[in-house]
Amino acid sequence: MATTLDTQTRKRIQHWLDGNYDENTKAQIRQWLADEKTEELLDAFYKNLEFGTGGLRGVIGVGSNRMNRYTVGSATQGLANYLLKTFPGQAIKVAVAYDSRNKSPEFARLCADVFTANGIQVYLFDALRPTPELSFAIRHLGCQSGVVITASHNPREYNGFKAYWTDGSQVVAPHDKNIVAEVKNIREVSDIHFDGKPELVQTIGSEVDAEYLRTITANSINPEVIRRQHDLKIVFTPIHGTGITLVPEALKAVGFTQVAVVEEQAEPDGDFPTVVYPNPEEEEAMSLAMEKARALDADLVIATDPDADRVGAAVKNEQGEWELLNGNQMASLIIYYLLQAWKEAGKLTGREFVAKTIVTTDLIDAICKDYGVNCYNTLTGFKYIAQVIRELEGKEQFIAGGEESYGYLIGDAVRDKDAVASCAMIAELTAFARDKGQSLFDFLTEMYLQYGFYLEGLQSLTRKGKAGADEIREMMAGLRSNPPATLGGVRIARTLDYLSLIEKDLPSGSEKPIEGIGIEKSNVLQFILEDGSKVSARPSGTEPKIKFYVSVHQPLERAGDFRKTFRELEQKRDAIFEDLIS
């Protein structure tokens, strides 16, 4: 074992064996040692769980690198300590929510216990709720912070802990790093206050639901269109997650009357029994919904992930076959529709803005430019979009935001991606298209005809454990020290290195700083090719992966050229991927 496990890992293992941890936990560790399960021990103890773009997230189980009573307790205690230091002498309030994952209710109750043991009042939802409602509740209830127990769309063995700040957004610098520092200062189990004070817990439920739903109905731009197209046939699946609690209700509230739920996936279940991976980005997870859509001759399929912050959609294409729309397409369609609707309603004054992440399609930038609306690009993670909203509050009006990973936000009542509000808006823009005699696919084609056909792609390489983390670091270092001269046969014109915050023009050798609201050092590297294609590389903040994003585009001359143009762009994109990963 000594030759396989590094010194720090062995120290963490021994600390857990010697510390005030429960006997079941220690028995598991001893069993791994006896069975020489060094790979399991390394993965469980090679590091402590840390906050990434999505907070704390890991496999449920024993170990410093796993989600369990002690890692969740440490995270909660660290957040509590930071809140007490940041708001001295104030009555601190925190909202706590959870999703349908295994151990989510227990971890949420544990958070409530630790917060109240530190004298902090807790608003605890009475049952599972979507993550965006937690974001809304923080601002609605005047809380200083909030926590939702979820691992979003990760596989069933995962759970997580997302921390939020006073404005309802996930924590950003300096708070994220300061909370991590507080967590690292907790070295013993005795540092965690587990004995909660029930009198400091207030249960919340339908009254917050009603206020949250009111903000969603207020987002509607064309209620008269919905009245005319109320019978739009919508198939919805929550994929065993929290979307079932509010998405059907939200669709009904804005006026849609023909919503069919996929019954096989309606029951919240942390084992996600009907899917391999509870992610609406995956066709397999959408298969039951599309099967139902075919049977009903539906107009739209929508699906939410376990905590209902991401939404996937499918539409009938020009051949009448069901086709998934990706996150870039849907984010662009939402912006395309909203800017049209705002202009027609006379609501564009020159002070409005849209926000997206740097790895999301530049089609959105083109649309915003056409309408004279500012488009701010942020680092990956919706917390940075929320940061732009916060810093521009009172100066510019936020319309919507999005990211390629199926997260969208309409209006600023919530400060995180919101699948509930997005489902309502996607249904509305589909009704808008239908009111003009178009399908949603026709609407997509119309957008491409006007602004060009943009095609994106994402490929991820998974590298688990400490060895995998080391390999990912080496890959990023190699791309920086020895970047390719060409990708897909096209020369690289510019590089943007978000670790050094330097943009470099390769032909001239000139450099300039990368600046923007919330822009800070991040391990992201971008190549801009001479033909305008964009390539991004970044390690995931929540999974053991390195991600490569590619975006290519060219004009779409006529609607009938859709498939031909798609194939041309696909070949161009795939040639770039081949150069990156080979």
Q: Which tens digits make up the pLDDT trace of 484-539?
A: 999 999 999 999 999 999 999 999 999 999 999 989 999 999 999 999 999 999 99
Which one, of 569, 518, 554, lies nearest residue 167 by Cα?
518
pLDDT value of residue 165: 97
Say how far apart CA 385 and CA 518 lie, in whole Å.
Answer: 9
Helix (H), strand (E) at residue 391 = helix 382-392
β-pair partners for 364:
none
268-319, pLDDT tens digit by residue? Answer: 999 999 999 999 999 999 999 999 999 999 999 999 999 999 999 999 999 9
Q: Report the Cα–Cα distance between both ends of the chain, in Å, rounded.
A: 34
Domains of the chain, CATH where assigned: 47-186 (3.40.120.10), 211-451 (3.40.120.10), 454-581 (3.30.310)
What pLDDT, on a 0 to 100 scale, did the predictor assign at position 180? Answer: 84
Taking the C-alpha atoms of residue 568 and residue 444, their distance in angstroms, rounded to an integer, is: 18
DSSP state, 67? B
User: Residue 435's pLDDT is what?
Assistant: 98
User: 220-230, pLDDT tens digit by residue?
Assistant: 999 999 999 99
Structure tokens at 288: 């039951």
Angle at 148 between CA 143 and CA 152, to 5 degrees: 145
- DSSP 3-state of 534: strand
Residue 1 pLDDT > 50, yes or no? no
Average pLDDT of span 60-80? 96
Question: What's the predicted TM-score (pTM) here?
Answer: 0.94
Instruction: Report which secondary-structure segment, H or E, holds 284.
Output: helix 283-296
pLDDT tier at 3 (50, 70, 90 boundaries)?
very low
The token duo for 453 is 């056909």
Q: Is the pLDDT of residue 52 over 70?
A: no
Higher pLDDT residue, 181 or 511?
Answer: 511
**Mean pLDDT, rounded, for 546-557:** 97
| Catalytically active residues, by annotation | 152
Residue 312, number of CB atoms within 10 A of its CB:
28
Query: Do 499 and 524 form a contact (C-beta atoms < 8 A)?
Result: yes
Mean pLDDT of the chain: 95
Query: How many C-beta atoms lie closer than 10 Å to residue 306's C-beta?
Result: 32
CA 331 to chain centre: 13
Average confidence (pLDDT) over 162-183? 91
Of 448 and 180, the one with more pLDDT: 448
Spatial separation of the C-alpha atoms in residues 217 and 256, rounded to whole Å: 12
In the predicted model, what is the mean pLDDT of residues 376-381? 93
Q: What is the pLDDT of residue 54?
A: 57
